[in-house]
């Protein structure tokens, strides 16, 4: 126990560990005393940079069409059981207006890799949102595009871009993502950083064939990339995918990795994900207590929300936007944190054209 605590102290003080030290920490992290110490250090670190504030983001899942066939994903192209939908530009804008009136000042536009929404349409959506809601941050999460496309979105006013790297292991990435390029995924993340976005990367926990060595590769990759946001959530199988019968990721390991990321990247924006709340009724609150500081209530219109099913059992698919906000706000407060409805930018990021 003493050796593990020394390693956690080193991580807390230096925000860095070697690969061997990270593996040792992960190998010994399934001990409740180790976990409690780790979570306490993560909370201290989060409090230093963000206090007890938890930032709320309004999530708009605007299309469940996708050209890819990632083996874990419920909206993969080969899944014929999905009822596909696309929100019109007008519907996206009106959904964000509902969110704005509820107090949200960040909107996350997320969808499958759907080329129906070409560069011109994405630019139009971003410009309209920035015109109507100039005090809001716009986050895009629409997968791999070209450098020029990313630059157009940024110049139109997009502030943030979420693109999980999924895994820093080439062999595991290729197993999970048929016909996709590991190199291109990584290159996209570096392109986004170069352009000036607040960049979000991240990975799943508990995938088939995933080991502590793989997690260490992820953690070292994140330290090198130094993103502004990191999304980590447990793998949850979907019944209509090749991984339907695999075991899902655990709450315990996800919380451990959230805390390690907080200590590695102290200024990072770190969500307590819907997937965490799906595998445990108190999962999001536990994520906040392990160092997370962001939640993303769902604004997607209720008539299509249950169709954006990346995994089985997803929570909050039947709640109206106002209900969803109130439910999560109550949970945040009951867990001892303060709700912050502002843009909630990373403390190290600055964009010159923000008023």
Burial level of 24, CB count in 10 A (0-12/13-18/19+)?
middle
pLDDT in tens, 80-122: 999 999 999 999 999 999 999 999 999 999 999 999 999 999 9
Indicate whether 353 pLDDT > 60: no
What's the mean pLDDT in 269-295?
A: 96
What's the mean pLDDT in 209-218?
A: 97
Indicate whether 354 pLDDT > 60: no
Determine the Cα–Cα distance for residues 17 and 23; give it in Å rounded to an integer.
Answer: 10
Q: pTM higher than 0.75, yes or no?
A: yes
Long-range contacts of 80-84 (CB under 8 A, 24+ apart): 81/240, 82/240, 82/307, 82/309, 83/307, 84/307
**Tokens describing residue 302:** 């209720």
Q: Can you tell me whether residue 68 is helix, strand or coil? A: coil
What local confidence, expressed as pLDDT, does residue 352 receive? 58
Architecture of the 2-340 domain: Alpha-Beta Barrel (3.20)
Determine the Cα–Cα distance for residues 253 and 276; give it in Å rounded to an integer.
Answer: 11
Strand partners, 53: 338
Name residues whose C-beta falls within 8 Å of residue 249's C-beta, 6 or more positions apart in sequence: 204, 205, 206, 207, 233, 234, 235, 236, 279
What's the mean pLDDT in 215-229?
A: 98
Indicate whether 355 pLDDT > 50: no
Of the candidates 107, 160, 103, the residue with the CA atom closest to the CA atom of residue 329: 103
């Amino acid at each position: 126990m003493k050796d593990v605590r020394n390693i956690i102290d080193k991580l807390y003080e230096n925000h860095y560990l070697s690969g061997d030290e990270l593996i040792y920490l992960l190998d010994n992290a399934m001990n409740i005393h180790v976990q409690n110490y780790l979570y306490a250090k993560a909370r201290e670190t989060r409090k230093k940079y963000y206090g007890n504030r938890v930032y709320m983001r309004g999530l708009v899942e605007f299309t469940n069409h996708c050209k890819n066939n990632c083996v874990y994903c419920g909206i993969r192209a080969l899944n014929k059981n999905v009822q596909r939908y696309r929100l019109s530009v007008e519907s996206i804008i009106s959904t964000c207006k509902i969110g704005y009136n509820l107090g949200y000042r960040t909107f996350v536009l997320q969808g499958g890799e759907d080329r129906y929404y070409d560069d011109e349409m994405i630019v139009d959506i971003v410009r309209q949102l920035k015109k109507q809601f100039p005090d809001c941050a716009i986050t895009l999460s629409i997968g791999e595009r070209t450098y020029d496309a990313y630059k157009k979105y940024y110049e139109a006013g997009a502030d943030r871009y979420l693109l999980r790297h999924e895994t820093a292991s080439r062999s595991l990435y290729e197993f999970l993502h048929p016909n996709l390029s590991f190199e291109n995924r990584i290159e996209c993340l570096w392109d986004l950083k170069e352009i000036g976005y607040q960049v979000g990367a991240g990975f799943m926990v508990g995938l088939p064939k995933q080991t502590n060595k793989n997690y260490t590769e992820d953690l070292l990759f994140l330290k090198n990339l130094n993103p502004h946001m990191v999304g980590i959530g447990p793998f949850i199988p979907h019944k209509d995918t090749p991984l339907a019968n695999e075991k899902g990721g655990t709450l315990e390991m996800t919380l451990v990795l959230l805390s390690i990321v907080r200590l590695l990247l102290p200024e990072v924006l770190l969500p307590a994900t819907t997937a965490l709340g799906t595998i445990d009724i108190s999962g999001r609150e536990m994520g906040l207590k392990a160092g997370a500081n962001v939640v993303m209530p769902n604004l997607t219109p209720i008539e299509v929300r249950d169709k954006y099913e990346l995994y089985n059992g997803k929570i909050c698919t039947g709640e109206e936007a106002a209900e969803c906000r109130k439910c999560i706000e109550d949970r945040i407060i009951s867990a001892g944190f303060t709700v912050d409805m502002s843009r909630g930018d990373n403390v190290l990021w600055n964009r010159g054209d923000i008023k």
